[in-house]
Amino acid sequence: MASPTKPPVAVVCIGMAGSGKTTFMQRINSHLHTLAVESPTTHTPPYVLNLDPAVRSVPFESNIDIRDSVNYKEVMKQYNLGPNGGILTSLNLFSTKIDQIMAILEKRCLPSATPTPTTTSSSSQPAETTSRPQHILIDTPGQIEVFVWSASGSILLSSLASSFPTVLAYVIDTPRTTANTSTFMSNMLYAVSILYKIKLPMILVFNKTDVKDESEAVEWMRDFESFQAALRKEEEDQMAGQEGSGYMNSLLNSMSLVLEEFYNHLSVVGVSSMTGNGVDDFFAAVEEKREEFERDYRPEMEKRVREAEKQKQEIRDREVQRMMKDMGADEAEDEASGMVDPDDEGEEAEEIDGDGDSGLNERYRQALRGQGNDGIGRVADHIMRSQR
Ligand SMILES: Nc1nc2c(ncn2[C@@H]2O[C@H](COP(=O)(O)OP(=O)(O)OP(=O)(O)O)[C@@H](O)[C@H]2O)c(=O)[nH]1
């Protein structure tokens, strides 16, 4: 179980529309609240964020709600956008406030090692340092691609992960996903793409187990033979000799082999958000993934940040060099073509001599290095962010 001395773990709920993310969020939220009431010395209520701007009502109380900062309907109207464009733009607008959001999160959720002299003019702070949240729960828009594949989604996630151990809970509609092998495989491929895009530890949450339990899905993941058997059965059920089925099945066959490695990296739990079954298993998996984050993901993330910094520096140096080359281009071209004006030679020698040219070079270099956040710096920052 989580300890009050550790930083809280951020659980980001993602999943296809209708998979039950919001119901799942409601369930784990109320589970943590119940624990906090039953044993207040060891458990605390979570800190909750809603990042779905389009949701009409949320069945749980959020500490930070994107709808308080951005009016999704107004965004659609003003920018003449459809529903997906509206969600994306709302997320973009929200992510421009990421520094403020992170400041609030860190203030509320991180154990204050040094009693921070508060610069903000917040109201009197209650003496509840011991009841810092052990979990940060985040609900995301149903249009999963809008969150996962957008720049704002990666800014939000990378900022979160730089301050807190962060875990993805990929919620799956079990009855629908295990209806046949191709739906199952499509969902797994989607999960793989998210895992490799976001590069954070992931838990597969097979939801709605009150309707159909997760055992079949888990068996398909853990036992290659059983997936093949299911495939064969489907093939037999299809009309004999129907065109296309052979190709599909052999593709699914190969896919299941390829995905074996991916499955090994995942924690899998079955949950019913309706009945609350499996929620304890889910939190056990969260703790497992928290350790994995600290052990494997954090060093990897720090390495990526260092590489991005190096890349940023290289871009700046390249720009300086290019600029210096541009400035000396005329002379260089003349020299290359052998057309040096003999009358110029003396003057050139004077300019290049002494600290004239090298001093100028150095001054340009320093000026560009000092640019920090504008011009080249801003481009580099953008590249750095988008590659993290
Ligand atoms: N039987 C059953 N139904 C569930 C469970 N979890 C969610 N549902 C139902 O599934 C439907 C979708 O649930 P939501 O929580 O709205 O799903 P969502 O993923 O947040 O949907 P979007 O907001 O569209 O992204 C609702 O009718 C829920 O009542 C579950 O564990 N069991």
| Residue partners of 67: CB distance under 8 A and separation at least 6 | 50, 53, 55
Which atom in ligand 1 lies closest to the alpha carbon of residue 275?
31
264 alpha carbon – ligand 1 mean position (Å): 27
Predicted pLDDT of residue 275: 95
ipTM: 0.96
More confident residue, 343 or 188: 188
Mean per-residue pLDDT of the chain: 79
More confident residue, 50 or 375: 50
State yes or no: pLDDT of 380 exceeds 90.
no
18 CB under 6 A from ligand 1?
A: yes
- List pLDDT tens digits, range 111-161: 765 444 444 444 444 444 457 899 999 999 888 888 888 888 889 998 999
Structure tokens at 94: 């929200």
What is the average per-residue pLDDT within 90-118?
80
Predicted pLDDT of residue 55: 85
Closest CA to 171 of 58, 8, 30, 17: 17
- List pLDDT tens digits, range 191-238: 988 988 888 999 999 999 999 999 999 988 888 888 888 888 887 776
User: How would you classify the pairing of strands 135-139 and 47-50?
Assistant: parallel
Predicted pLDDT of residue 354: 47
187 CB under 6 A from ligand 1?
A: no
Give the H/E segment covering residue 172: strand 166-173
Query: What single-letter amino acid sits at 318?
Result: R
The domain spans of the chain are 9-111+132-300, 307-337+347-387
| Residue partners of 80: CB distance under 8 A and separation at least 6 | none
9-111+132-300 has which fold? Answer: Rossmann fold (3.40.50)
More confident residue, 240 or 210: 210
Q: Rounded to two decimals, what is the model's pTM?
A: 0.75
Task: Identify the residue whose C-alpha is closest to ligand 1 atom 24.
Answer: 17
Banded model confidence at residue 359, pLDDT cuts 50, 70, 90? low
Banded model confidence at residue 340, pLDDT cuts 50, 70, 90? very low
Predicted pLDDT of residue 374: 46
Which atom in ligand 1 lies closest to the alpha carbon of residue 142?
25
58 CB under 6 A from ligand 1?
A: no
Instruction: Provide, rounded to the nearest whole percent, the portion of the chain with pLDDT above 70.
Output: 76
Predicted pLDDT of residue 379: 40
Task: Identify the residue whose C-alpha is closest to ligand 1 atom 4.
Answer: 208
Task: Identify the residue whose C-alpha is closest to ligand 1 atom 7.
Answer: 20
59 CB under 6 A from ligand 1?
A: no
Predicted pLDDT of residue 246: 63
- List pLDDT tens digits, range 289-307: 999 999 988 888 788 778 8
278 CB under 6 A from ligand 1?
A: no
207 CB under 6 A from ligand 1?
A: yes
- 13 near 21, Cβ under 8 Å? yes
Predicted pLDDT of residue 36: 92
212 CB under 6 A from ligand 1?
A: no
74 alpha carbon – ligand 1 mean position (Å): 27
What is the average per-residue pLDDT within 324-351?
54
What CA–CA distance (Å, rounded) separates 339 from 323? Answer: 23
